[in-house]
């Protein structure tokens, strides 16, 4: 399949597609949940709102007895079983808002409000445009403006992604893309936590600081001389997301990597799918 599909071209087209979403609701606070890219988006909005929007893992949240504010479920497909179970548990108890591309799911039927993202693809892809749309919907709900910046790419040799605030969610997102597309290990951490221990594992790779224009980021960048270090020309999540995607595209072109690893490894994909979608 990968020989017939130009994944580099398709992902590049997604990167250059309009992704802004206007939600029909504004909230001061909420719980936000999802899995994979959707959990990364949850971490972003938690960081951006200084905790007013709190990221929770959907499976962990099944043990919660109650929620004291609305629940936002981010799920492009609407099919992960943990999201559905969580919606069932708290249906009629709290307001449930679902951000999804698929309105014809059990999850959608359990929701009080659906925010539809206009995403579809005839190919199975790692989330790029769908992630940006989901993130835009969350920013709209929280009534927050998108950040600006220049999305200059960087090399992805054994990367360790570091993010502060909302950019910690983007560090996690970057980690997901390296695994999905290349089937390779990488790492991610918060700015402060990186300096306390993980820094000792960062030799012989690229330390990638997903910039928020913070002075301690600049200090860390200036101090690292034991390995390669890069800092993005960004101040927030959207610029850093585009930078990650552009860097992945550059790496795919450099390696002539016209495939998506998670689609190639059928054995692992089968385990992943059974865990995500089945009881």
pLDDT in tens, 103-150: 999 999 999 999 999 999 999 999 999 999 999 999 999 999 999 888
Where b means 16+ CB within 10 Å and e means fewer, 74-83 reads: bbbbbebbbb
First-residue to last-residue Cα distance in the chain: 29
How far is 48 from 59, CA to CA, in rounded Å?
A: 23
Measured over the CA atoms of residue 248, residue 152, residue 156 and residue 43, the dihedral's sign is: negative
pLDDT in tens, 39-80: 999 999 999 999 999 999 999 999 999 999 999 999 999 999
Rg of the chain in Å (alpha carbons): 18
Residue range(s) of every CATH 3.40.50.10490 domain in the chain: 18-141, 149-263
Where b means 16+ CB within 10 Å and e means fewer, 131-157 reads: bbbbbbbbbbbbebeebebebebbebe
The pLDDT of residue 148 is: 86
Q: Which residue has the tokens 């609701």?
A: 25
Where b means 16+ CB within 10 Å and e means fewer, 113-125 reads: ebbbbebeeeeeb
Q: Which two tokens stand for residue 214?
A: 């913070």
Question: Could you tell me the pLDDT band of residue 256, with boundaries at 50, 70 and 90?
Answer: very high
pTM of the model: 0.96
Question: Could you tell me the pLDDT band of residue 2, with boundaries at 50, 70 and 90?
Answer: very low
pLDDT reading at 1 higher than 80: no
Average pLDDT, integer, range 237-258: 97
How far is 55 from 140, CA to CA, in rounded Å?
A: 17
Which of 13-22, 87-96, 144-153, 207-216 has the weakest average pLDDT? 144-153
pLDDT in tens, 188-210: 999 999 999 999 999 999 999 99
- Check: CB of residue 248 under 8 Å from CB of residue 177: yes
How is 62-120 classified by DSSP, letter by letter?
GG-S--SS-EEEE-SSS--HHHHHHHHHHTTTS-EEEEES-SSSHHHHT-SEEEE----
pLDDT reading at 163 higher than 70: yes
Topology annotation, domain 149-263: Rossmann fold (3.40.50)
The pLDDT of residue 3 is: 54
Topology annotation, domain 18-141: Rossmann fold (3.40.50)
């Amino acid at each position: 399949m990968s020989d017939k599909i130009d994944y580099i071209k398709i992902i590049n087209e997604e990167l250059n597609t309009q992704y802004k979403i206007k939600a029909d609701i504004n909230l001061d606070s909420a719980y936000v949940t999802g899995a994979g890219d959707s959990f990364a988006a949850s971490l972003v909005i938690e960081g951006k709102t200084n905790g007013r929007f709190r990221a929770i893992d959907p499976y962990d949240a099944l043990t919660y007895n109650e929620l004291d504010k609305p629940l936002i479920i981010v799920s492009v497909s609407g099919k992960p079983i943990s999201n559905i179970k969580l919606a069932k548990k708290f249906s009629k108890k709290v307001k449930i808002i679902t951000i999804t591309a698929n309105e014809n799911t059990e999850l959608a039927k359990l929701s009080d409000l659906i925010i539809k993202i206009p995403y579809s693809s005839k190919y199975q892809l790692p989330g790029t445009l769908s992630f940006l749309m989901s993130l835009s919907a969350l920013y709209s709900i929280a009534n927050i403006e998108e950040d600006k910046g220049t999305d200059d790419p960087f090399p992805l040799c054994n990367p360790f992604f570091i993010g502060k605030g909302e950019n910690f969610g983007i560090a996690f997102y970057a980690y997901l893309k390296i695994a999905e597309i290349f089937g390779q290990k990488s790492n991610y951490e918060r700015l402060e936590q990186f300096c306390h221990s993980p820094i000792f594992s960062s030799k012989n790779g690229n330390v990638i600081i997903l910039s928020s224009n913070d002075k301690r980021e600049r200090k860390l960048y200036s101090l690292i001389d034991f390995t390669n270090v890069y800092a993005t020309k960004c101040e927030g999540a959207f610029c850093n997301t585009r930078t990650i995607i552009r860097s992945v595209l550059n790496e795919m072109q450099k390696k002539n990597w016209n495939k998506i690893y998670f689609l190639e490894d059928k054995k692992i994909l089968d385990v992943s799918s059974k865990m995500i979608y089945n009881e």
